[in-house]
Every structure is written in structure tokens, then in C-alpha cells.
Amino acid sequence: MGLFTNKNKPCILCGEPTPRLFPTTVEGQPICGNCKGKIDLPDGVFFGMSLEDVRKYMAFYDENKALRDIYKETLWVPCGGWNDRLSLDMDHKLFRIRDKGDAMVLEGSALKGFRILEDERVLYESSPAGLKHHPSDIPARVQNLVPIITQFHMQHMQYEHMQEIERRMQEQSDGKTSSSISGYMEPPRFTHQVIEHFHVELTLDHPYWGGTRSLEYTQTPRFDDTCPDAGEFMDKYNKHTKTLHTLALDLMSFINPDAREIKAGPVPQKIAIATDPVKEIQRYKSLLDSGAITEEEFTAKKKQLLDI
């Protein structure tokens, strides 16, 4: 321990030995690892604090232990940095913004408002009238991508077909030929997306976490770049928006336990995602290969699906 700590430079806050290498300092004076571990503040705040400010914060943090001791997580969503989460204790009306056992616990009364957004478009928000639920255009945008997804799958099938021909040619020549049908063609990649990220904005009244805090929801659904599927995307989207809806209801109960949910704007029509014809063709091809249908039946179904 003596190799890594310095008794000659005691912590300016508690008097314990401080690290020999790269200690955290306050007004140029080092603090110990134990005091550093108590620092749970928004990025950049600590380094602008005076010694008197830090002493007041440490007293506040020690008092906060009473809330940390009773904290029991009942809901969490992945928000923030690596492995971070927005955590709620609905039994005690408490919440945490950072995911660590010694993180500051905030009382529900500190929450004064919130918004949950899809990119820049509000999905849920608190209001004096209650929880507002805004319609999303994501389902319609996904539906508009179905023809593009179908075209992509056909391109991918063509690429795989060319790769298969080339493989057979190599086998027949025992690998002696260097001819290539596909050349250096890269496999196609699907680059379209309909949403970059969800994020949660919290408006807080708190001595150290006051103001508006924006947290990125880290599990935003994405299209697979090699095998995009509209139905699969919507399943993921619906799963995540259901989680965010539950979060919104719980956050709203901190502000007003009796608040009702309000549909803001026109209720969007439920959109059925069209069947992907390429995937259907692949399914019927499997039936053909297994002998369940004839070549004529497969050809007729293929023409029907491709509308030719």
C-alpha cells in the first residue's frame, strides 16, 4: 500500500493518505481514493468547485446514504454511457441517473418534467394535464422501405448466385483457374435506417443535478445490414417503445400520481407491414427442394409474388 500512497500528502478533506500517481486535486491539493469515490456529479462540475464547495458536497453525499441504503431498483432502462442505466425505485419514489451502487439517489420530487424523443421528435412528455403520447411516423416510414428492402434481397440473392457459380467453377478446375465472375464485388449492404436514437430528457430541481439532463437510450432498433426485415424491425421497435412507455408512466407518477395519459394529435392508423416477396420465394424454394410442391407450383407462386 505504501508504494502507491503518500502519507506525507494527506487528503485535504479527511486526512487519509493520497495516491502517489495522478491524484485528484481540489485547489491544487490531493484527495484520497475514498473521497474521490464519493464524487457523483455531472461531467465537468467537480473541477470548477472550491474547497468549501467540495466540503458541502461531501456532507450532502453522506446524508444521501440514507436513501442509498433503502434503494431497491424496480425498473431500469439502458441510458447514458457504457453499461449505464436510468434506474427507478417505484416503492420509495426514488431514482438514479448513473449505474453504480454508490451513485447519488434522487427523490422523485426532484423531477419537474421530462420528454422521451425519437431523434428530434417527441414521443412522450409530461404536462400539467398529464402524460402526452404523440403519434410516431416510424411505422409508415418502415412501410415505405419495404420495396427497397425487397430490391435489396433480390440483389443479395443475385450476388450469392454469382458466388455459387464461381465456387463450382473453381471446384471443376481444381482451383487452377483464376477467372472470376463476380470479380472483386463486395456483398451488398443495406444502409437505410429510419431512426438514429431514442433519448430521455429530464428536467431536475436538485442542488447538484439540477437543470436538463439528456440521456441516450442505448438500444435503438436497427435494420440488419445484410438481411433487413421490416417485420423484425417493427417487433424490436414495438418492444423498445413499450419499455419507454412504461418508463414514461412511472416518471409521470413522480410528478403527479393521478395524472392521466393523453393522446396528442391524430391517432395513427395501424399499418400492416407487407410480406417480403423474396423471403416468401425462399420459403417456397425450400418446399420445392423438399418435394412438398412441384416445379410448376413453385414457378406460379414466384410469378405471383413478383407480380409478373
What pLDDT, on the 0 to 100 scale, is given for residue 100? 80
Give the orientation angle of helix 295-306 with respect to helix 277-290, to 10 degrees. 180
Over range 22-31, report the average pLDDT.
93
Instruction: Tell me the three state secondary structure of residue 200.
Output: strand
Does pTM surpass 0.75? Answer: yes
Instruction: Please tell me which residue, 9 or 161, carries the higher pLDDT value.
Output: 9
251-298 confidence digits (pLDDT tens):
999 999 999 999 887 655 554 555 566 666 776 677 667 666 677 776
Over range 141-163, report the average pLDDT.
88
What pLDDT, on the 0 to 100 scale, is given for residue 161? 79
> What is the C-alpha separation between 62 and 64, in angstroms, rounded?
5
Confidence of residue 116 (pLDDT cuts 50, 70, 90): very high
Over range 182-191, report the average pLDDT.
77
Q: Which residue has the cell 445490414?
A: 225
> What is the C-alpha separation between 1 and 300, in angstroms, rounded?
79
Task: Strands of 134-269 (E only): list them.
Answer: 198-204, 211-217, 260-263
pLDDT tops 60 at residue 241: yes
**What residues contact residue 250 under an 8 Å CB cut-off, 6+ apart?**
75, 88, 90
The mean pLDDT of the chain is 86
Alpha-helix residue ranges (DSSP H) falling in 64-192 = 65-70, 138-172
> What is the C-alpha separation between 90 and 110, in angstroms, rounded?
14
Q: Which residue has the cell 446524508?
A: 63
191-231 confidence digits (pLDDT tens):
999 999 999 999 999 999 999 999 999 889 999 999 899 99
